[in-house]
Each structure stands twice: as C-alpha cells, then as structure tokens.
Structure 1
Amino acid sequence: MIKERGRKEFNIIKERYGILKEEYQVSENVSKDTVFVLDNVGGLSEQFLKRKPNVITHRQITELSEVVELVAPQLPMLINTIENAYQNIAVYGRSPYAKKIFEYLLQNKEITVTYVEDGKLEYRDHKYYIDSDESFEMLLVMDLLVNREVFNKRGDQIITVFSVDMYRADLKSTRNNADINQYIIPKLLENGVNVIWIGTPNINKLVSSKKIKLTIKVWSLIRHISESFFSELRNRKFHTLYLQEESLAAHNSNSKGISEVFFNGEYINFDNGFRRTPQNDPAVENNIWLFGPCCVRGLNFDDSHTMSAKLKEMVGSDYNVMNRGTMNTCLNYVMRMAEYHRGDVAVFFSPDYVPEHKNESVCYIDGNDIFNKVPSLEKHITDSLYHCDEIVIDEVVKSIYRSIGELSIECGEKKKVTFGSRRKRVPALDMYEQNHFTDWLRSLDQYKKAGNNGAIVMNANPFTYGHRYLVEYAASKVDYLYVMVVEEDKSFFKFEERYKLVKEGTADLKNVIVFPSSQYIISSSSLPGYFKKENMQGDILLDATQDIVSFAQVAETLNIHVRFCGEEPKDLFTKRYNDNMEKLLPQYGIEFEVIDRKTCAGEVISASRVRKCLKEGKLEEIKGLVPDTTYNYLKQKYQNK
C-alpha cells in the first residue's frame, strides 16, 4: 500500500529504500510488508499503523539515506552511552554495519555481548519476538525495521534501539518508560533508594480544561511560527526577560543520546550538561535526584529559582538536590548514569498517568492533584503544562517535599547503587563528529610513547619548587611523564610565560614531555569556576565529570595509566576537583596518586605565595620558592617595577 503525493517523489523514495535495504541487507522475513508513507504518517489512522509491522516514512528514509555514507567510518556516540549503562547487550542484523557494532562491543571486556542470528526475530500480534529465553538488558536492531516493542520467549520486554532512530538529529529514543518501570525502579527499591513517581496530568480532568487547551494551542502556534518570538513573549509573561539572552545562548547537545545543555553565565549555569543547584553542600551524604522534563531543567528560571533550588531550600542539610532535567525520551539513560546511595530519593516525572495497579513500595503523586491547586492555571503555562511559571513550580516542590516527609528512609551502610559495568569506556575517536577535540587528540600522536606512562596537569602560575618536586617524584615512578600546562589565559601569568617556565624548569628531566592542555582539560568550558576560585566563598559540591572524561580520552591516546597531583590543604575548589579524580579516574582504568606538597620554612610552597611576594615587591623572598629559571625571569620582569 502506498499513500502517494506524486509518482516522481515515490520513485525517489523507493530507490533510496532499495539502496538502504542493500546496505543493511534487510532480512526478507521482517521487511516484506514494509509500507511507504510519503507524508510522514500524516492522515493515517492509528488502527492502520497498528495493523502493519513496518511503516517507513518519508522522513525516516530521507534521514537514513543521508547518513549511509557515515555508516562505514563512524559509529554513533549513543553506542558508548549504551555500553556504559547496560551490562548484557544483544545485536541483531545482517548488515556489515551490524557486524561492525558487534565487533566494537566485543572489545569491551566489562560487558556481555550476543549476536542474534538472522531469522531469530519474528513479527506477530503487532510486536517483535526474539527466539531466545535470555533477558538481554538492551537489544540493538541494526536492520531496517520500524520501532516496535520486542519480547523474548518468556514474554519479558527487551529495551531496544532501532537503526532507524540511531542517526536522528534529535533524540535517539528507546522504550525508555518500560526500562524505568520494569528494571531501574525495582533495582533502586531493592537497594534502599526511595522512589517518588509523579504521573503526568490528564488535561481533561483539570479545572478549566477548555481554557487550558486553548492556551496550549495558541502558544504552540506562536512557537511554530517563531522560536525567538515565542521565547520573548514567554519571558514577558513570566517576568523573566532578564534571562532571555542567556537562555537563547545555551547550547543543547543530543550526541550521546541524551539531551545535555552547556552554558555558564550570570543567571544560568550547567555542570556537565545538567543544571546546577548552587546551594548543594559536599558535607551532605544523601541526594534527592530529580529526573524529569524541561520544567525540572528550568531554563526559564535563574539558578536560585529552579525546582531543584527551591526543593534544596526546603530540605536544608538533610539532602542535596541533583537536577537531572532533560527530555522524557532519554530519562532511562540519565537515570542509569547516576550513582546513588542507600537512603537517596529518586523523583521520576513519568509521561504516563498514575497506574491503577501500583507498586506498594513506590510513592505516587497524581499530576492532576498538583496542577488543580493552581488557580487560573491557563495564566501560568504556555505551549505545555510543564512549560510553566514559578507559581506552578512552587506547587510541584511542595508536593514532593510532603511526600519525602512520608517516606521510610533506610539507614545503615551507605552502599553505592549503580547501573552498567564498574569500569567505563571512553568513546572511540570515530564516534566524535569531526571537530577540534578529535583533531587535537590526533595531534597528540607526536608525543606518544610506549610504556607505563603518567601525567600531571598544572597551571604553574608561576612554576615553583613545589611544581618541580611534583614533576621529579612523578617522573621517577613512570617510563614517561606528560606535563600538560593549562592553556586558557585567565591567570596572573600568561600561558606563554607559564609554558616557557615549565619547559625550562623541567628541561633536564629526559622522560618528561610538556605540552599545552588545550581548551578541553581544566578550562572555563570543561571546568567552570576554576578561574574564579579565588573569589569562591565556602565549600562547593563540584562535578568535574566532563573534564575528567576528556582527560581519560587523552590517557587512552597516550598510554597514560596514572595521574598525579599535589595535596591541596587550602584551595577548596582544587580539593573537590581532586576528590572527583579519585572517584572517577579508576572507573576508566586510571590510577590516581596524591603527592605531599613541598614546604619551605614550615610553610607549603605555592604559586599563590609567590604572587603575593611579587605584589608586595619582595623579590628576595621568592628566591627560595622557585627554580633559577623562574627566578631569573621574574627578576628581569619585576625588578624595575
């Protein structure tokens, strides 16, 4: 059956599909009933779609045909997300591409990988069934099949990613809700993590539902016409025009299969793709995790008025609140990426209504109960119920807070609860789109040495005897030591000065290789706040995942097995960064060693001490703190000032 707008257009699509079938070597037993829909399912009834196993739309064919050239050289970053989040993965498909993915996953010794042979996947009763009793955590269907539910012989649903969704420009969805309800939530409950399940509101059961529907329809039309105009009107309505410039500048990335936002400004700040909760305290042991859509992310609010910030204010020192606002289609990945502890609370905003048959261990909140408490709700929303103002957010937070008070929190050993393998894998270089990061990584081949190698990343502002001691010690422990000098120019001394002093100060150490860190290791983009730490008041809860994963990628390129750093007794930001390295580096197979700091006259030698002497004109006091190469440079630069 063909719904055709034009014979010429159909022939083009059919030709594209033929090419794709050949490329993917589609199994005939599951592809013979494929239906072409040229207008992206427009006008076709739900009943028709349910009767047909395979509906290939114009958009899907076009998107797939555009990426066929990418299939051979490039694997999507989503594969790396999956291999780090699931331990038992199966691959189905006859194409060379399917075999390439299978062979890539086989290299990961931390997971179990199975190849499902052709003919093992059958379509019946509007679903796919795999001829296996095994409960795979994830199935990758790399044949040209449309996304449908997949079950094994026992009737267990298998979480599946289909190749037709793999290269979408936006989100690469899975059966995410099934993953959360059937696998993630039960594991959390079994390990002492409480779960609060918030059902989506049924708009037909809301007070003034007709007005609400009309409001959503009008705002949706405005958004369709102009995103920027929509943003301005929304900010005027919610009295947040001061946020517009920053919210529009925030960059969203879906490359990993999850929605991450990267931006740091005066009012809006993200750490490693997720919204920052500024009041979080590292001394607090347990977390409340907020997993939900854009209202959780809170791009319409400044840092102190997001849902997580408001909830943190209410719970005080009992919990930190971790904001994991993203898109509903990828919440399962985000939930699997988190590291929980017994006594934590996971709050999940479900796209479904509250179920009739409830899990007795889960605390359920009906979204209608929350939204019906807001008078004239239509005045507080735009194109979605969850695209709302602070009045609605306040009601959501109050409801969550009340539910937390009713929970029975488990005490005892603070056991970690994680998903996926303990040892994580960095993405393969060909998973990255061609960009400066991969170019930089490839440029590091010039420094590559065989052996048991180590690394130090230092700002050296300026290079002192303390830095020299750290380098000497580390170099004695490895075959080659890489010293990466922070390249970003936001320090007292310019990068060119710092780099020169490190090179000269280590020139006699034959196994030391010095090179710039680039913008990917300790920079304002990879580690926001590093260059503002001298103005930091009090302790902070730092998440340095992005910076450390970038370093892990460098480590794989240069055979780095250990990273060294100096002990940090005073600088709280650097201390928290060291804590992050101690926790995360072993997950990527990298050892981490902290070295005692060198002292002079009973006091730790530090670059800040040298800078203080310079500002006070005490050049002679510097002489015992820095090597001759540094002292001679400083003397020449400052003696006449």
Structure 2
Amino acid sequence: MIKKIKRSIRTSKVLAPLVYQYKKKKFINMLTELAKVYERCKKHHVGLYIFTTPDPDVIRNLTEAEKNRIDNWVLDFNNVTEADMKILQSIYPGGITREYIDSVYDGTKIVDLGNKKMVADYTSKRVNFKNGLRLTPNNPAKYQHKICVFGACTARGTGVEDSKTIPSYLQSRINEEFEGSFCVNNLAVGCGSTLLDDINVINNECFKSGDIIIIISHMGMVLRKYAAELGILALDTSSIFDRPHAIGEWFTDETYHTNEYGNHAIGAFIFEKLKAKGCFKKKEQGKVSVMLPASDTQSIKIIESEEFLRFAEDLKKFRDADYISRKNGAIVMNCNPFTLGHRYLIETAASQVDRLYIFVVEENKSVFPYEDRFELVKKGAADLPNVCVLPSGKFIISALTFPGYFYKDNLKDTVLDTSNDVDIFARGIAPILNITVRFAGEEPLDIVTRQYNNTMRERLPLMNIEFCEIKRKEDSHEVISASRVRRSLEAGDWLQVARLVPRTTYDYLVERFGGKNA
C-alpha cells in the first residue's frame, strides 16, 4: 500500500514540477558535488554519463506477476524463506538452488574509509572483490582507456555472479566490436549507497583524457533533469523493459534489483548509447591530461609545507651532474632486517637503470632501529656502484603519510587508503631526482603492502612514472622475507637465518642477539 501511495505521488503530472523542486532541494548537496565532478571531467576530457535504473512507474505494460512482486514482496537476502525460493526459481534460469542464491548475494561487507566507502575484499566461486573492484572476468590484458562504473546494487551486480553484471556484459560488447580499446572496472558500492558515495569513490580515483565514468543510479527523474541542466547525458533505462519484449523475467522484488537478463539488456543499452556518441572511435593521440583525485589536497598541503621544502633541498644534494639525461629509479625499503630478498630486489632493479635510489624507511616503529637498518642496507649494497642509499624522511611511508603500514600485522583484513603516500612521492619527491621508475617486490603474503603496490600500479603511470614489480626471491619454495628472518630468530634457528640474510646482516644479528657464528 505504501509503495502504491508513493507511486501515485511520483506519477502525478500536476505534482511533477513540485516533486522535482522538492527532491532537488533535498539532494542539493550531492547534486552540487556532481556538478564539481563534471567540471573536472570537462577540464581533463574525461567522459561522464549517467544511466538511471528501470522505473516501474515509467515501464509500460508490466505483467500482473511483475506488479505483484513490486507491490507485495520484499526479498531479504539474509533470510531467504521457502516462499522466497519459489519466486526466485521462477525468475532465475536453470533451476537454481538455495546454495546458489546464498552465494551470489554474499560478499556484501562495506568498509568506510572516511573519505570513501568500498566493498571489502572477498573471494568465492561466483563473487569476487579486491581493492574495491568487483571482478570483471573478461577484462582485456592490454587496453587504451578505462570505463569505471559506479553506482548502487544494480551496478555492482548484487544477486548475480561476476560474469553476469552490467560491467561484464558491457565489456563483452566492447571486446566483440572494439577489442583492446577499453577495460571496464566495476567500482560500484551498493548496500544502500548513495550518489554521494559514488562521487566520493570517483574523487579518489585517477583518470586520464579519453577515460569514461558511468554512474548507474536509482535517483531517477531528479538526477536526469539536474544532469541535463548541467549538460551531462543522462538516460533512463526503463524503456528497455516495455512489454512486449523477449528478455524474460529480469528483476526480483524491485525493478532496480535486476538478474542476469536485466543486466544483459542494460549492458547492451549502455554500449549502444556510448557507441552512438562515438566513445569507442580511435582518437588522435594528443597531450594526455590527468584527472587526479579531488581528495588529494592533503598531499598538496604536505608538498607545499616548509618542512617538505627543506627535505627537498636536502635531496637535491644527491643529484648526479647529468641526472636529467639519466634513467633513475627508486625503491622504498623498511629492511627489518636487510635480507637476501632485499639484496636480490636491489640487484635486479639496479641492472635496469643508470642510478637507483634506495629510500630506507626512517620512521622508528620497527623491530630494528632505523640507524641499524640504514647501515645494513648501505653495507649490503656497498658493491653496487650505481646505488645510492638515502633516508626516507617523514614523507615516504611514515606516520604522516601512511600510518597503517606500521600496524599492518593487526590490519590483515582492513582496506587502507595508501594513495596519499604514493601521490607525495610522485608529485613531490620523484621530480627532484628525475625518478621515472619505481620498483617493488611482489607481495603474495602481506595484504597491506599488496594494497600499496596496487595503488602504485594504478596511480604512478598517470603521473609519468613507471611501476615495476619484481618477483620475490625464494628459499626452500618460500619467499625470503624480513618477517621470516624474525621468526627464525625467535626460534633460535641460526642455520636458517644464515640462509636468508647476507653476511653483513648475519654478523650484526649475532652481535645483537648472541647467536652462533656460522
């Protein structure tokens, strides 16, 4: 009954202008933020398109069964009843089971990072999230641009498996007709997320000219009308589902809760509209403009601070006379303590550049004090002529730029925002020494460091810095890591310690802990 009353108000032609003004006033804050995003997109030649989800008040000729589901059924996917299963089995293809339904509605934990919300990492046979991205299985390995899809549950694909989301179907169509042109990223949040949540995620992403932002929203008429006033193309997907059609049963309890058939139809609709706009045509490669996160004001403030400027002056002392013409690389290391794994990473990176700068994390929040770690790195790399060992100061992996790094043992299931540290390095530190490539070891074990590597992979190329990830050195089929050395020390296994560290580190550890000289 409540749904019917709301519908009668929304569909009244007399009340329509009043409803728009009321909703515009109600949502003015997020609509204003949308306008800011659009201005940034225009400046950097990034496409912005909005598609609103199917509206039952607009769709023509809904069946009686569809109307009944909309008016009288609420699906609580955390408590699916036998009655729910009967309806779901009539909607989903292929005789689905309760196990299937539970699996495709799983993975819905939302993490609030303060400046944005994102879906927590989750892995299963049918639903997978990593670093806020839902898996799009048919993403190309090489591509020119990216399409980032934002929105609520419809965009995320709640209730379907990875290959049956709107972004996955959109990627399929692109692969068929414009192979290698675009990679579609599913960054939708869902679980009651709002347009403002979408904008916050957008404001934390990097884009370059030619990339496309798509927002799939439940806000309907008010968003389309406001977007039109700004000049944004905003289209309603409702007409896709006017009957008669051959799509079949395409939603569950609400028309924005689409199943694979609904998603396939919307994905095709979006593709055709973008194609008609010429979005997939190859464009002449001009100067690339980068749309950096709107939320990176903290990194800008740090780079402009007096303390950073003093740090920058100190760094200039380590420039080579011909540093501009040389290929310079960098590695940031904690070395807690320095291992043969670190040595291998330095050797490999040094062989690829003219000068390699090693920044040793200066923050004294590790087992081994900074002064000792710094000396161990210097001694361990002393025979490599093109290596320069430097302190990281307060501006590379520090309590100021990346506090979560020093508590990572307690943050194994936490998603952290590592962008601030990466942006400071790329925008403030790298230009001083003309660093054009940053190296890091692959990180199969440490979730926090892996997130940091992913941030570098995403953001550094947009600021003209190559990111190179090097496969870790192993011993006895296990990665050589500082944590493994520390565990061996705790166990008193000096034979293993000797296999994992260079002689200079071993001698230091023997002197400090009174172990057996090998």
TM-score (norm 2): 0.56
Aligned to 1:338: 205
Match of 1:229 among 69, 74, 80: 80
Match of 2:29 among 175, 181, 187: 175
SS of the aligned residue for 1:229 comes to coil
Aligned to 1:194: 47
Deviation at 1:359, TM superposition (A): 7.1
SS of the aligned residue for 1:325 comes to coil
Q: Distance in 1 between matches of 2:409 and 2:334?
A: 8
Residues 1:322 and 2:185 aligned together? yes
Q: Distance in 2 between matches of 1:419 and 1:614?
A: 35
Q: Distance in 2 between matches of 1:329 and 1:390?
A: 23
Aligned to 1:143: none
Match of 1:456 among 317, 333, 342: 333
| Contact 2:101–2:159 (Cα < 8 Å) also in 1 | yes
Aligned to 2:240: 370
Q: Percent of pairs identical after alignment?
A: 14
Q: Distance in 2 between matches of 1:547 and 1:197?
A: 29
Q: 1:586 to 1:413 in 2, by over 3 A?
A: closer
Q: Distance in 1 between matches of 2:391 and 2:39?
A: 52
Gapped regions of structure 2 (runs ≥ 5)? 10-17, 300-309, 316-331, 351-355, 380-388, 399-403, 425-431, 481-494, 510-518
Aligned to 1:546: 417
Q: Which region of structure 1 is more displaced relative to structure 2, 261-270 or 204-213?
A: 204-213
Matched AA of 1:581: M
Q: 1:463 to 1:341 in 2, by over 3 A?
A: closer
* Greater relative CO (CA pairs within 8 A, separation 6+): 2
SS of the aligned residue for 2:186 comes to strand
Deviations 1:526-559 (A, max 9, x none): 68xxxxxxxxxxxxxxxxx734458899xxxxxx
Q: 1:130-529 alignment to 2 at 5 Å?
A: 175-177=29-31, 179-180=33-34, 182-185=35-38, 187-189=40-42, 191-204=44-57, 205-208=59-62, 210-220=64-74, 222-223=75-76, 227-229=78-80, 233=85, 238=92, 239=96, 241-242=99-100, 244-245=102-103, 247-254=105-112, 256=114, 258-266=116-124, 267-281=126-140, 283-316=142-175, 317-326=180-189, 327-330=193-196, 331-350=198-217, 351-353=219-221, 355=225, 363-372=233-242, 375=245, 379-409=249-279, 411-413=284-286, 415-416=288-289, 418=291, 421=294, 423-425=296-298, 456-457=333-334, 463=341, 465-466=343-344, 481-482=362-363, 517=405, 520=408, 525=413
Deviation at 1:322, TM superposition (A): 1.9
Q: 1:174 to 1:261 in 2, by over 3 A?
A: farther
Matched AA of 1:390: E
Q: Distance in 2 between matches of 1:357 and 1:251?
A: 30
Q: Distance in 2 between matches of 1:611 and 1:363?
A: 58
Deviation at 1:195, TM superposition (A): 3.9
| Contact 2:144–2:182 (Cα < 8 Å) also in 1 | yes
Q: Distance in 2 between matches of 1:360 and 1:584?
A: 29
Deviation at 1:421, TM superposition (A): 4.8
Matched AA of 2:207: Y
TM-score (norm 1): 0.47
Matched AA of 1:481: E
| Contact 1:290–1:308 (Cα < 8 Å) also in 2 | yes
| Contact 2:149–2:155 (Cα < 8 Å) also in 1 | yes
Aligned to 2:514: none
Q: 1:366 to 1:614 in 2, by over 3 A?
A: closer
Aligned to 1:626: 502
How many residues are aligned here? Answer: 402
Deviations 1:449-492 (A, max 9, x none): x9889952569776453468899x867x77x734888xxxxxxx
Match of 1:581 among 430, 433, 456: 456
Deviation at 1:286, TM superposition (A): 1.0
Q: Distance in 1 between matches of 2:292 and 2:143?
A: 23
SS of the aligned residue for 1:175 comes to helix
RMSD (Å), alpha carbons: 6.2
Matched AA of 1:244: D
Aligned to 2:489: none
Q: 1:343 to 1:271 in 2, by over 3 A?
A: same
SS of the aligned residue for 1:217 comes to helix
Q: 1:243 to 1:627 in 2, by over 3 A?
A: farther
Q: 1:214 to 1:584 in 2, by over 3 A?
A: same
Matched AA of 2:155: V
Deviations 1:328-360 (A, max 9, x none): 332333333333322223323342235599579
SS of the aligned residue for 2:139 comes to coil
| Contact 1:199–1:367 (Cα < 8 Å) also in 2 | yes
Deviation at 1:296, TM superposition (A): 0.8
| Contact 2:139–2:183 (Cα < 8 Å) also in 1 | yes
Gapped regions of structure 1 (runs ≥ 5)? 1-41, 47-124, 129-146, 151-159, 161-172, 427-449, 486-495, 528-544, 554-560, 598-603, 634-641
Deviation at 1:411, TM superposition (A): 4.0
Deviation at 1:630, TM superposition (A): 5.3
| Contact 2:208–2:462 (Cα < 8 Å) also in 1 | no
| Contact 1:311–1:321 (Cα < 8 Å) also in 2 | yes
Q: Distance in 1 between matches of 2:419 and 2:344?
A: 23
Q: Distance in 2 between matches of 1:333 and 1:581?
A: 20
Q: Distance in 2 between matches of 1:628 and 1:356?
A: 66
SS of the aligned residue for 1:260 comes to strand
SS of the aligned residue for 1:380 comes to coil
SS of the aligned residue for 1:203 comes to coil
| Contact 1:251–1:262 (Cα < 8 Å) also in 2 | yes
| Contact 1:189–1:361 (Cα < 8 Å) also in 2 | no
Deviation at 1:609, TM superposition (A): 5.4
